[in-house]
A and B are shown apart, each in its own frame.
Chain A
Amino acid sequence: MTNEPVIALRGVTAELGARPVLRGIDLTVGRGEVVALLGANGSGKSTAIRAVIGQVPVSGGTVELFGTPRRSFRDWARVGYVPQRTTAAGGVPATVTEIVSAGRLSRTRFGLFRRSDREAVRRALELVGMADRAKDSVDALSGGQHQRVLIARALVAEPELLIMDEPMAGVDLASQEILARTLEQQVEAGATVLLVLHELGPLEPLIDRAVVLRDGCVLHDGPPPRAVGQHALPGHDHVHPHAPAGAEPIRTGLLS
């Protein structure tokens, strides 16, 4: 079964503190697909993603990963995850290498690292352009550099499915392009990607499909809204007088 979806949410509902946050979401991601999850702040993007990986209890509907109900899914080495981050420092200093190594644990037996594992860590750091900071403390990094380390941590286990919550947040354009190229290589190698974005940016050509959420419901599921990529700058008015004729204006609410 090559065409069975990698991620399948059907009618998923979830509450956080008695408040309905997901109100019946359908979302499927096929093998090799790159799907962007869009929507305003608080629309439920992170919650949807965390429902996929089992961090949010689901009150209704079904969640499947690689065709297996999420509850019985155990093959976590196939999944790479980049959480949405504001601050991510523990109470003890840790180097970039130490953080990225944590992502490799799913590929080791009993947490014993072999040479191939160390190699993988080094390669992941090279992919995100952070190899020269390998021995530095993560506390000494900027927000965007930190984000790149978290992406390396997701890549290091060589996952088939990448789930990323705003991986480009705070990353400058040059690094976004590096990361876009990295992601492109992963996709060419057969990876499936589900990622939350606020603007498509340099990733735009990679995106096969966009799913837009509003208030915990799917508002749009189809081709990515092209205009958003170019014009989703802060303060940019979201009405597009020059939107292609016939195209239904997509109100993503990204900036409202």
Chain B
Amino acid sequence: MYFLNYAFMQRALLAAVLVGITAPAIGIYLVQRRQALMGDGIGHVAMTGVGLGFLLSTSPVWMATAVSVLGAVLMELIRWYGRTRGDIALAMLFYGGMAGGVMLINLAPGGSNANLMSYLFGSLSTVSGSDVTAICVLAAFVLLVTLGLRRQLFAVSQDEEFARVTGLPVRTLNLLTAVTAAVTVTVAMRVVGLLLVSALMVVPVAAAQQLSRSFTVTFVIAVAIGVAVTVSGTITSYYQDVPPGATIVLLTIAAFLALTALATPLARRRARAAAAAQPAGDPAECAIPAARGTGEEVGV
């Protein structure tokens, strides 16, 4: 474990752990409300923020946070008022954000698309001390929201109409979800990159669902998977010199496939256990009462 002696690896691993926790923690609510691709959209918009950061030579992380929060709020507003044309407006927002990012970074003095690449696909060696500070602060916010308001967010994501009748501030909670997703995108940006962020929000949740029947358990397993893949992906990319974002996402998908393969026999075992637990005299299989006679008699 001598890689821990390098300061850049310490920073990278800390960032990786925080990403592994926060991305599935907010992702589960997005999956629950069937907006799994929202993270992807925010990731596109955040590129403009990165571009702006380079152009104004301020921190790209904070700039990306500001722009993607703005984009997420805009997405929520489009969802409220957009109705039928909403998806077109969203498409313009996403691709406008991406094109804006590429344009701005080219205008920046000394900026090149090579710089952008490290934000698009993640780059551990360039995670600076101030990046880590930003990541810690932002991750604390994400955890506060996703854990502290879990019952409220669960209710709103499960059934918005019912949540409104229980008196929950549904619009505020929806906005908060969008803003938290945006913050998570920027937390994850340095580790997995903007284009792969969404995978880490969605795939661990999908994998966890294979094993669980409850929301709480899904949440816990998804976070565990998230941490496992970000940490092991980071270490792999150190040894093999492969891009960390791609490594992490491929590991996540491998975890999903492995758990899916595991889930089928598990479900069968559960069903068998349930059948065995049934009281005697209550047969698991249907039996036609003898009084009704045999099949042949009925068939004629």
Binding site for B on A (CB under 8 A): 50, 53-55, 74-77, 79, 81, 83, 88, 90-95, 98-99, 101-103, 105-106, 108, 111, 113, 135-137, 140, 153, 157
How far is A105 from B165 in the complex, measured between Cα atoms in Å? 11
Binds A, one of B12-20, B27-35, B229-237, B291-299: B27-35
B162 close to A81 (CB less than 8 A): yes
Q: Say whether A83 contacts B214, CB under 8 Å.
A: no
- Once the chains are docked, how many angstroms separate the CA of A94 from the CA of B167? 21
Contact sample, A vs B, 20 pairs, CB 8 Å cutoff: A50-B161, A53-B164, A55-B165, A74-B167, A76-B166, A79-B165, A83-B159, A91-B32, A91-B34, A92-B28, A92-B32, A92-B205, A93-B209, A93-B213, A99-B158, A102-B162, A103-B166, A105-B168, A106-B166, A140-B213
Q: Which residues of B contact A94 (CB under 8 A)?
A: 154, 158, 214-215
Residues on A with beta carbons closer than 8 Å to the beta carbon of B157? 90
**A136 cross-chain contacts in B, Cβ below 8 A:** 213
A137: contacting residue among B33, B165, B213, CB under 8 A: B213
A102 in contact with B159 given A76-B166, A91-B33, A111-B152 (CB within 8 Å): yes
CA distance A106 to B151 in the complex (A): 11
Q: Is the interface of A mostly helix, strand, loop or mixed?
A: loop
Of listed B150, B165, B218, residue having the most chain A CB within 10 A: B165
Which residues does chain A contribute within 8 Å of B209, judged by CB atoms? 92-93
A99→B159 CA distance, assembly (Å): 10
B-to-A contact residues, CB < 8 Å:
28, 31-34, 36, 149-152, 154-155, 157-159, 161-168, 205, 209, 212-216, 218
B167–A77 CB distance below 8 A: yes
Q: Contact partner of A105 among B152, B213, B215, CB < 8 A? A: B152
In the complex, what's the smallest C-beta–C-beta distance from A67 to chain B, in angstroms?
18
A101:B151 contact, CB within 8 angstroms? yes
Least Cβ–Cβ distance between B263 and chain A, in angstroms:
12
User: How far apart sit A94 and B205, CA to CA, in the bound complex (Å)?
Assistant: 13
Q: Quick check: B155 and A105 within 8 Å, CB to CB?
A: yes
For the complex, give the distance between the alpha carbons of A79 and B165 in Å. 7
Measured CB to CB, the nearest residue on chain A to B165 is A81
- Which residues of chain B are within 8 angstroms of A105 by Cβ–Cβ distance? 151-152, 155, 166, 168
Q: A55-B164, A55-B165, A93-B218 are in contact. List 11 more A-B contacts (CB 8 A).
A: A83-B162, A91-B31, A91-B36, A92-B32, A93-B209, A95-B214, A98-B215, A102-B158, A105-B152, A108-B151, A135-B213
